[in-house]
Structure formats: structure tokens, C-alpha cells
């Protein structure tokens, strides 16, 4: 994990679904004030602390630009008619959601339909963001080397181990050394930030809420509401101020972009499939402008009962008239694909909807969040979880917060002043001091594929295989940790021996399951999550290698001891260092 190495700075990258940010602090400033974190500002239409997660590649599939610059450059290319072979990727982080297996062959599709390896898109994004940070560190301190910087990249807690391993690979391809890289879980980083914030920035309502929430014995739920995913973690504060996870992290793809998708779906229903097809094929610039206007309107909608106004690009109005032989301003209502009839009005190139209709686009996302929380509270019987902490960009949505307050009137709902930056700031603090999280719950039952001498009556005859005159049972699931098991950070959970089957190389194949006690890796619900590849001239066919696995950190780690030399090596999932 790199904690024991010498470093002068911690630099964090928060690669989000819709927006990304970078931040850093020096070791000296952390000692004086952990929350003294520098966050880069980005210049678009306004100055912001995050930039759109949008990346552009040129005709030769080489990196061109990222963020606001990528959006602006692609707009110019469209206006000049030169964008045909340029590839723009948006919201690509969601491609890793619910991916359970090794992602080496994963491809992403650009706006123009061209495909590119996902690892190339992610590594180019991380490289750009890391270079921005290094430039700023050099600007502030004049000179630094790669060895002076410890890197932290945030990922959702609900991501699979292969997805986390994929991010490590992408970062290494981007030039970040593995031993100087830590993967942080987003809701945990937010909790770390909030714990360190001064009282006046916590927005904790009544005096005393702060001390009740973070005092030993108290419990809380962190809801990290991002653009793509809602990531939920529960913590109990221990006597020493560290925390343990009460339940496995959970959540779903109910983030803020779900609202944008529902509004865009509404436009497809109103404009019709022919108009939308023409716009997507020949008027990409206007679709991009409409998407921007939808995002602006979504963010401006509040609990005040004002109408939502969305500006419609003139070309969209013209295309509608050409295809339907009528002005869009004459349309007053539409029946949507879900059966609802919605009333609205067009005036001066703007669409206006009443407040209740506008809020209906938020319902699917917000109801999913509330339903999930409602199902979690019965699990907490005896834990006395009375606090919900809302962080992430979507936590700024007053409609979401109002609904949470209404649905959970007996809970303290806390929204820190820096809700949108808490993950990024917390990631920097985590890089300096990763020991706030003391115990985590395993999200799956994890184990290794192995074979043992066949035993009649115990093993399935279909799994019988003969090797070198001996009869083995193959495909056995050698369990290392069980789903929901409480595991202590920094400890290796198991110590098992596996027989080497090939000279100079051994592969330990790791599997996961939601079944607490699978027998075979081929059982229903079992899936392969990756491999640990051991290459060593000391390995001998038939010899045994001692394997210790740790599931307590943000990634699976392994320690392998070679019997012949007595030396050991550390590995991450699917990667040989």
C-alpha cells in the first residue's frame, strides 16, 4: 500500500462519473492541519473545483484533451465539420460498475461509435490528471521527484475487486509506481474528511450532534451520492476513535445522471424517434448543448415551487418542424413511454414545466435510495444508527435532501458544508493517515480454485481427474474469507498451502460468491475475479507455496512464501510485481 515509504506530498485523484477533481497536501501541512488541502480549480464557463469527466482522442487515437478543454475542442471540431474521426468519451467510469471478471478485453464506445480499449481511456485520463497535480506541486515548491509523491485514487466501495485492480493497472500505465499508489474507497474517504472538519463546517444542526455522531459507540450511515453510483457504508466508532464497518458496503446505479437520463428520455418521447435519430447522426453539437442545458436546469431546481426551464437549441426546433411539419411551440403535452401524460409549454426557445412535473424526473433515483436505506435500518437492530450523512455532488440536490428528511423523520440527516469535495479532501487525508478504518466487512465469500486427492462419497465423481497416477478432485473452492465476515485492516486472514503445477510459474485463481460456503468454483453464483501469478526459478512442480490473503484493505493483497528460500513476496490481484 506504500504507507511505510518516505514521501513529501499526498496527491489524490477523484475520477468521477460526471466530474473529476485533483488535490494534494504536503506532509508538513497535514501535521499542522489535516484539512489544509489544495484543490485545483478548473476554468470553464465558470471557475469550479471539478472538471467534466470527458476525454477526447484524435484521428490517430492519441490523447488530445480532457475536461472543459475536451468539450470546447470537440465543439469547435463539430462546428468546423472536422470531428468525424475524433473520439469523445463521457461517463465512462460507469463501464466498471457491476463488472465481476477480469476487464482486460473491455472496450468503450465513443460518441462517434468508434471503439477503444477501456484501459487506454482510463490510463490517459489518470495520466492527464496526475500531470496537472505534478505541475501544481512543482509550481508551489519548485522541485520534486516521483518518489516524493504518494498517490491516492478513489473508487466506489461497491465496485468489485477486478474493477479496483483495473484502476491500479490503468494508473501504472499512466506512469504511477505501484508501491506509491493507494486505492481509497469513496464513502470511507468522505467519512475521514468529515471527522476532521472544524465544527462550523459540518452543518450538523443542533449543538452536540457532532459529538454524538463521532463519539465512541455511536454509529452512522454515509451515503455518497455521486453522478453514477450511490455508495453506502455504515460505521461504528470504536473507543480509540477509529471505526469498524457494520455491514458490507452497498448501493446502486441511482446517481444524479439517472435524472439527466429521464429528462433526455422525456425529450425523445416529445420529439419522436425520427427527430432524435437525425439529431444524433447529423447534429451532435446540438445534442451536446441540450445535455448541458439539462444539467444546468437540473442543478437549479430547488424545493421552492418554481418551474424548471430548459433552453432548446434552435436546430432542434428546426429539425422537429422539418420532420413533423409543425412548430414545437404548438405541443402542450405528451404521453410518455411509462404511460404518464405530462403538460408543458414552449416559449421563446425554452421549455417550461411545473415544479411537480420537474420533480417526477428525480423520483426513480430518490425512491431507490430511500428504499435501500429503509431496508438497511431493520438490519441495524441493536446498533442504534440514528444518523445519515449525505456527501457527494448529488447531496447538493435539495429535492433529495428534503425527501430523506421526510422519509426518515427520526434520523439526524447531516450534509457537510463541503459535501461535494469531501471525498477528494478525505482521500488526501487518507493518504497521510489510512488507519481510521480499523475493520471492514467482506462483500463476498472469497476463495482459491484448487484440487485435492479424490475421496469417494465426499467429492463429485464428475470432478474426478487423474494426474501422474493419482486421482484428484478438481475445481474445489478453498475458502479464505466468508461474506459479511468482520476483518481487521492490516491483518492477513488466512494461511494456506497450494501445490505448484507448472515449472517456474504458478497461478492462483481467485473466485468469489455470495454463498457463504460454496464447495466448487463452478457452483451457481461463483465467479472468477482474477489471478495471482507467481514467477520464480525457485518453484518446483509438486512443491507447495504458502499463501496468505488479506481482504481488509481496499484491494485484495497476497503474501506468498517460498519454502525453498524462505523469502516472501507481495502481490495484488491479477498483477505480478
Q: What is the pLDDT of residue 266?
A: 93
**Is 279 in the same domain as 141?**
no
Residue 572, pLDDT above cutoff 80: no
Residue 103, pLDDT above cutoff 90: no
For cell 445535455, name the residue: 291
Q: What is the pLDDT of residue 203?
A: 54
Identify the CATH number of the domain in which residue 459 sits.
2.60.34
- Give the residue-averaged pLDDT of 51-57: 96
Evaluate whether 123 touches 260 at the Cβ level (below 8 Å).
Answer: no
- Give the residue-averaged pLDDT of 183-200: 85
pLDDT digits (tens, 9 = 90+) for 114-123: 999 999 999 9
Asked if the structure places residue 216 within a domain, the reply is no
Global pTM exceeds 0.75 = yes
- Give the residue-averaged pLDDT of 549-572: 70
Residue 548, pLDDT above cutoff 80: no
DSSP annotation of 329 reads G
Asked if the structure places residue 229 within a domain, the reply is no
For residue 241, CA distances in Å to 221, 235, 257, 361, 436 come to 16, 11, 35, 41, 8
pLDDT digits (tens, 9 = 90+) for 128-169: 999 999 999 988 886 777 789 999 999 999 998 889 889 999
HSE, side-chain direction, 13 A CA sphere, residue 39: 23
**Is 261 in the same domain as 182?**
no
Residue 205, pLDDT above cutoff 50: no
**Is 117 in the same domain as 264?**
no
Asked if the structure places residue 235 within a domain, the reply is no
In this structure, the strands spanning 87-90 and 345-347 are: unpaired
Q: What is the pLDDT of residue 176?
A: 95
Better-scored residue on pLDDT, 541 or 46: 46
**Is 21 in the same domain as 155?**
yes
Evaluate whether 444 touches 195 at the Cβ level (below 8 Å).
Answer: no
3-class secondary structure, 105: coil
Last residue of a domain, one of 147, 167, 186: 186
**Is 182 in the same domain as 48?**
yes
Identify the CATH number of the domain in which residue 32 sits.
3.30.420.40
Asked if the structure places residue 193 within a domain, the reply is no
Q: What's the mean pLDDT when you consider all of the chain?
A: 87
Joined grid coordinates for residue 269: 418521447
Contacts of 541 (CB under 8 A, 6+ apart): 500, 501, 502, 503
Confidence of residue 576 (pLDDT cuts 50, 70, 90): very low
pLDDT digits (tens, 9 = 90+) for 253-266: 999 999 999 999 99
Residue 575, pLDDT above cutoff 50: no
Q: What is the pLDDT of residue 577?
A: 28
pLDDT digits (tens, 9 = 90+) for 442-468: 989 999 898 899 999 999 999 999 988
Better-scored residue on pLDDT, 144 or 215: 215
Last residue of a domain, one of 302, 331, 360: 360
**Is 182 in the same domain as 287?**
no
Asked if the structure places residue 417 within a domain, the reply is no
Residue 569, pLDDT above cutoff 70: no
**Is 477 in the same domain as 560?**
yes
- Give the residue-averaged pLDDT of 509-528: 93
Return the H-helix or E-strand segment holding 320.
helix 314-324
Q: What is the pLDDT of residue 571?
A: 67
Confidence of residue 537 (pLDDT cuts 50, 70, 90): low
Last residue of a domain, one of 162, 186, 210: 186
Residue 284, pLDDT above cutoff 60: yes
Asked if the structure places residue 136 within a domain, the reply is yes
Classify residue 411 as exposed, middle or buried by CB count within 10 Å of its CB (0-12, 13-18, 19+): middle
Confidence of residue 544 (pLDDT cuts 50, 70, 90): low
Asked if the structure places residue 473 within a domain, the reply is yes
For cell 478504518, name the residue: 437
pLDDT digits (tens, 9 = 90+) for 321-330: 999 999 988 8
Residue 504, pLDDT above cutoff 70: no
pLDDT digits (tens, 9 = 90+) for 5-17: 578 999 999 999 9
Residue 570, pLDDT above cutoff 90: no
**Is 21 in the same domain as 108?**
yes
Confidence of residue 206 (pLDDT cuts 50, 70, 90): very low
**Is 182 in the same domain as 273?**
no
List the domain range (segments joined by +) for residue 341: 257-360
Better-scored residue on pLDDT, 338 or 482: 482
Asked if the structure places residue 43 within a domain, the reply is yes
**Is 154 in the same domain as 266?**
no
Residue 339, pLDDT above cutoff 90: no
- Domains held by the chain: number: 3
Residue 209, pLDDT above cutoff 70: no
pLDDT digits (tens, 9 = 90+) for 217-273: 889 999 999 999 999 999 999 998 889 999 889 999 999 999 999 999 999 999 999
**Is 455 in the same domain as 547?**
yes
**Is 178 in the same domain as 312?**
no
Q: What is the pLDDT of residue 264?
A: 94
Classify residue 436 as exposed, middle or buried by CB count within 10 Å of its CB (0-12, 13-18, 19+): buried
In this structure, the strands spanning 243-245 and 437-441 are: parallel
Q: What is the pLDDT of residue 567?
A: 58
Confidence of residue 105 (pLDDT cuts 50, 70, 90): confident
**Cα(232)–Cα(250) distance, integer angstroms:** 5
pLDDT digits (tens, 9 = 90+) for 354-400: 999 999 999 999 999 999 999 988 776 556 788 999 999 999 899 99
- Give the residue-averaged pLDDT of 280-297: 91
Q: What is the pLDDT of residue 3?
A: 45
Instruction: Look at the alpha carbons of 187, 193, 196, 197 in this order and tell me if their dihedral is positive or negative.
Output: negative
Amino acid at each position: 500500500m506504500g504507507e511505510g515509504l518516505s514521501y513529501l506530498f499526498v496527491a489524490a485523484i477523484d475520477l468521477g462519473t460526471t466530474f473529476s477533481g485533483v488535490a494534494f497536501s504536503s506532509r508538513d501541512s497535514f501535521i499542522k492541519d489535516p484539512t489544509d488541502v489544495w484543490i485545483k480549480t478548473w476554468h470553464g464557463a465558470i471557475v469550479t473545483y471539478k472538471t467534466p469527466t470527458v476525454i477526447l482522442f484524435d484521428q490517430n487515437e492519441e490523447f488530445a484533451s480532457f475536461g472543459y478543454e475536451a468539450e470546447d475542442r470537440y465543439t469547435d471540431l463539430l462546428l468546423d465539420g472536422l470531428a468525424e474521426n475524433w473520439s469523445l468519451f463521457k461517463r465512462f467510469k460507469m463501464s466498471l460498475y457491476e463488472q465481476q471478471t477480469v476487464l482486460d478485453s473491455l472496450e468503450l464506445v465513443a460518441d462517434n461509435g468508434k471503439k477503444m480499449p477501456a484501459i487506454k481511456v482510463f490510463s490517459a485520463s489518470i495520466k492527464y490528471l496526475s500531470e496537472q497535480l505534478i505541475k501544481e506541486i512543482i509550481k508551489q515548491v519548485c522541485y520534486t521527484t516521483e518518489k516524493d509523491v504518494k498517490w491516492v485514487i478513489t473508487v466506489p466501495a461497491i465496485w468489485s475487486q477486478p474493477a479496483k485492480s483495473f484502476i491500479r493497472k490503468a494508473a501504472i500505465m499512466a506512469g504511477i509506481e505501484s508501491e506509491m499508489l493507494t486505492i481509497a474507497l469513496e464513502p470511507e474517504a468522505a467519512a475521514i474528511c468529515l471527522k476532521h472538519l472544524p465544527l462550523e463546517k459540518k452543518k450538523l444542526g443542533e449543538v452536540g450532534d457532532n459529538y454524538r455522531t463521532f463519539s465512541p459507540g455511536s454509529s452512522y450511515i454515509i451515503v455518497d451520492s455521486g453522478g453514477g453510483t450511490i455508495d453506502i457504508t455504515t460505521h461504528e466508532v470504536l473507543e480509540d476513535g477509529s471505526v469498524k464497518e457494520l455491514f458490507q458496503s452497498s448501493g446502486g446505479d441511482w446517481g444524479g445522471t439517472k435524472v439527466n437520463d429521464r429528462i433526455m428520455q422525456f425529450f425523445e418521447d416529445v420529439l419522436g424517434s425520427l427527430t432524435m435519430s437525425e439529431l444524433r447522426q447529423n447534429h451532435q453539437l446540438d445534442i451536446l448543448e441540450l445535455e448541458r442545458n439539462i444539467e444546468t436546469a437540473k442543478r437549479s431546481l430547488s424545493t421552492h415551487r418554481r418551474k424548471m426551464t430548459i433552453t432548446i437549441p434552435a436546430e432542434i426546433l428546426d429539425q422537429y418542424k422539418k420532420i413533423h411539419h409543425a412548430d414545437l411551440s404548438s405541443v402542450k403535452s405528451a404521453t410518455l413511454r411509462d404511460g404518464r401524460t405530462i403538460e408543458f409549454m414552449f416559449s421563446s426557445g425554452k421549455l417550461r414545466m411545473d415544479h411537480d412535473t420537474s420533480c417526477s424526473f428525480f423520483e426513480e433515483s430518490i425512491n431507490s435510495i430511500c428504499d435501500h436505506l429503509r431496508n438497511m435500518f431493520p438490519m441495524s437492530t441493536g446498533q442504534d444508527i440514528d444518523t445519515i450523512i449525505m456527501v457527494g455532488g448529488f447531496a447538493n440536490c435539495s429535492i433529495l435532501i428534503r425527501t430523506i428528511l421526510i422519509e426518515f423523520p427520526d434520523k439526524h440527516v447531516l450534509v457537510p458544508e463541503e459535501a461535494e469535495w469531501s471525498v477528494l479532501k478525505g482521500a488526501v487525508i487518507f493518504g497521510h493517515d489510512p488507519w481510521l478504518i480499523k475493520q471492514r466487512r467482506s462483500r463476498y465469500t472469497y476463495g482459491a480454485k484448487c484440487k485435492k486427492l479424490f475421496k469417494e462419497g465426499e467429492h463429485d465423481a464428475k470432478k474426478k481427474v487423474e494426474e501422474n497416477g493419482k486421482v484428484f478432485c478438481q475445481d474445489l473452492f478453498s475458502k479464505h474469507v466468508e461474506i459479511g465476515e468482520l476483518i481487521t485492516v492490516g491483518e492477513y486472514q488466512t494461511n494456506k498451502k497450494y501445490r505448484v503445477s507448472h515449472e517456474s510459474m504458478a497461478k492462483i485463481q481467485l473466485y468469489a460468491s455470495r454463498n457463504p460456503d460454496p464447495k466448487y468454483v463452478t457452483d451457481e453464483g461463483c465467479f472468477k475475479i482474477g489471478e495471482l501469478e507467481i514467477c520464480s526459478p525457485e518453484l518446483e512442480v509438486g512443491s507447495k507455496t504458502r499463501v496468505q490473503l488479506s481482504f481488509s484493505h481496499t484491494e485484495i493483497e497476497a503474501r506468498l512464501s517460498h519454502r525453498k528460500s524462505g523469502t516472501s513476496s507481495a502481490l495484488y490481484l491479477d498483477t505480478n510485481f
